[in-house]
Amino acid sequence: MSAKPEYVPGHGLLRGRTAVITAAAGAGIGGATARKFLEEGARVLISDAHARRLKESEQALADEFGAANVASLPCDVTDEEQVAALFALAAEAHGSLDIVVNNAGLGGTSDLVDMTDDQWSRVLDVTLNGTFRCTRAALRAFRDTGRHGVVVNNASVVGWRAQAGQAHYAAAKAGVMALTRCAAIEAAAYGVRVNAVSPSLAMHPHLVKVTSAELLAELTEKEAFGRYAEPWEIANVIVFLASGYSSYMTGEVVSVSSRHA
């Protein structure tokens, strides 16, 4: 197993920009992305379906980076009214919108033969339809204000690779990839970029608690580095896609993975 890398400090890549980040409460990719964006000089509006954890996350980030740079609003991405309210607040709280990170998703494990319609539909509604709703809201905001904004979606390597028990999640993430490519072609006409990251194995304390040691060992063995990614390592690539360093990239799905099988 390779040693964990040193944390990469901010370089002001997003200075003066405003971002909406969904599912950003807690210690996962969304929370790491919010912190990274703030370190890079952005203002953030974070959302999550878990109101208590969201408020705690907002307070912690505000204490460190200043209350003027952090706002939050609970949002269930399966509810169009809540999505609309989130994007309305972005303009109200920070006066503009430059970046949207669609991180909200829902997983689960069930073999297809035993999967219920409700299990299938719930995962698809949060993971794919939620990304659609937020991407649509972002593109409307960018088009109507004339801002050359950026959307970054969170996909997954299971959108490319088969994994037992993950038919619903894999289908949703493959849909996110296709949505990203189609949205990018349409949005290019008004100067907006849409890309996605595709992580393999990124773990955090909450996820470790609900993942069996056997499954974690099996998945880790498939990674060339012999370890899972830290959430901030995925967030670093999201920063790249949100910044001017990726100005000629759109419609791309960037694998953030060391997986070799």
How sure is the predictor about 113, in pLDDT bands with cuts at 50, 70 and 90? Answer: very high
State residue 206's pLDDT score.
Answer: 54
- The pLDDT of 3-12, averaged and rounded, is 88
Nearest CA to 210 out of 123, 107, 75, 57 is that of 107
- Work out the percent of the chain whose per-residue pLDDT is above 90: 80
Please give the structure tokens belonging to residue 226: 């012999």
pLDDT at 61: 98
Whether 143 and 189 have beta carbons less than 8 Å apart is answered as no
| Mean pLDDT score, 73-87 | 98
Is residue 218 pLDDT above 80, yes or no? no
Q: Is the pLDDT of residue 46 over 90?
A: yes
pLDDT of residue 37: 98
pLDDT in tens, 125-161: 999 999 999 999 999 999 999 999 999 999 999 999 9
Structure confidence at residue 227 as a pLDDT band (50, 70, 90): confident
Task: Verify whether residue 169 is a known catalytic residue.
Answer: yes
pTM of the full structure: 0.93
Q: How far apart are CA 8 and CA 223, in angstroms?
A: 21
15 vs 36, 131, 186, CA distance in Å?
A: 12, 25, 27
Q: How far apart (Å, rounded) are the C-alpha atoms in residues 229 and 141?
A: 33
**150-154 β-sheet, strand order:** 70-74, 43-48, 18-21, 99-102, 150-154, 193-199, 253-256
3-state secondary structure of 166: coil
Q: Is the pLDDT of residue 255 over 90?
A: yes
Tell me what pLDDT residue 260 has. 64
Mean pLDDT of the region 18-28: 96
Query: What's residue 4's pLDDT?
Result: 77
List all residues 6 or more positions away from 121 whose beta carbon is below 8 Å from its beta carbon: none
Residue 2 has pLDDT above 90, yes or no: no
- pLDDT the model gives residue 84: 97
Mean pLDDT of 159-175: 95
Inter-residue contact 145 to 161 (CB < 8 Å): no
pLDDT of 217 over the 80 cut:
no
Residue 221 has pLDDT above 80, yes or no: no
Catalytic residue among 169, 190, 228, 248: 169
Please tell me which residue, 251 or 96, carries the higher pLDDT value: 251
